[in-house]
Structure 1
């Protein structure tokens, strides 16, 4: 498969949002817990395309321009929080205006996320964070490692001292990739965030890499 990497742009929101939504439940569709894909894209992708995206953000696409996956992140926690807050306001306005499908279910999940959020590492040591997602058809080709390596190289070139990410014990394939690239577990805590959909407690993990 011929694949090229390129930086994202605001016009990529729909394509990146589709990847995020189709992989947002441990590699499967986020529709199980979040009914509105547009709101999902707004909260999980929009901030990186509107002021918070750091060095190394990349889209992977095939020769036809079809987006296969991405790595997105921010090296500025303050800027990221400001962009996320702006996205939250836009999402709230869309929910009140009737543009969001089943807003109570969506915001109910977000309330659970606020209650059972992931632990975080020191922003002084690990100011950057990242997210990487691949469509099922693009897995097993080494593309995840290609994206992650490109992102980490760009962070190093920019002088970023460290990067962290959050995941769960359910993401076995992703954990193997992160560990192969040198990430270590910095914090872990049990969480009931996913209990309505998994039927059990799982474990949040924070991984970090000093650059």
Structure 2
């Protein structure tokens, strides 16, 4: 899964352009879900190889605890490299320009869906998303949110078909050094069936 994350983490392309430390990238974007935070996590395989996955956490506080533990473990057991140093600019920019999020009480869950090129356009993404949402429903989660950008129009269409609606959007300079222009963050959310549809409060 870390390999898929690194291969697709820049709007479907390799994340190495802005985050060359692949080990740290995997620890940050995959590790928390496998070490205490995850629920409803599924992978897609082809010929025994993972070609996509969906990872998510049903509770934000649980995710934060798992992320802190994973980062501490990685930093205590891994020697920083030149790739680590070259990844710091993105981390600093991400802290300065965070993605919007909805009220965690109304939308406590979040998810990430990544597919290798070979798995795109095959219906795999929709099946992974359906399986994840079914698992969240079984846990009684009231709502799930995600953040993407208008650079990823295929993902936006997939989420809309699955019942996600746009909760907020804002232009961000986060990606400008690597895209060459600002991007628009899009916050999307989906309430569980039968839940009230009170207003979300994106920060």
Contact 1:69 1:138 in 2 (8 A): yes
RMSD over aligned CA atoms reads: 1.2
Shift of 1:94: 5.2
Contact 1:43 1:91 in 2 (8 A): no
Unpaired runs of at least 5, structure 1:
1-15
Equivalent residue number for residue 126 of structure 2: 145
Contact 1:134 1:144 in 2 (8 A): yes
Contact 2:35 2:70 in 1 (8 A): no
Say which of 65, 81, 92 aligns to 1:111.
92
Equivalent residue number for residue 19 of structure 2: 34
Shift of 1:90: 3.0
After superposition, the C-alpha distances for 1:115-142 in whole angstroms (9 at most, x for unaligned) are: 1110110111100000000000010000
Equivalent residue number for residue 126 of structure 1: 107
Equivalent residue number for residue 76 of structure 2: 93
Equivalent residue number for residue 43 of structure 2: 59
Q: Given the two structures, how large is their TM-score scaled by the length of structure 2?
A: 0.91
Equivalent residue number for residue 181 of structure 2: 200
Unpaired runs of at least 5, structure 2:
193-203
Aligned residues: 192
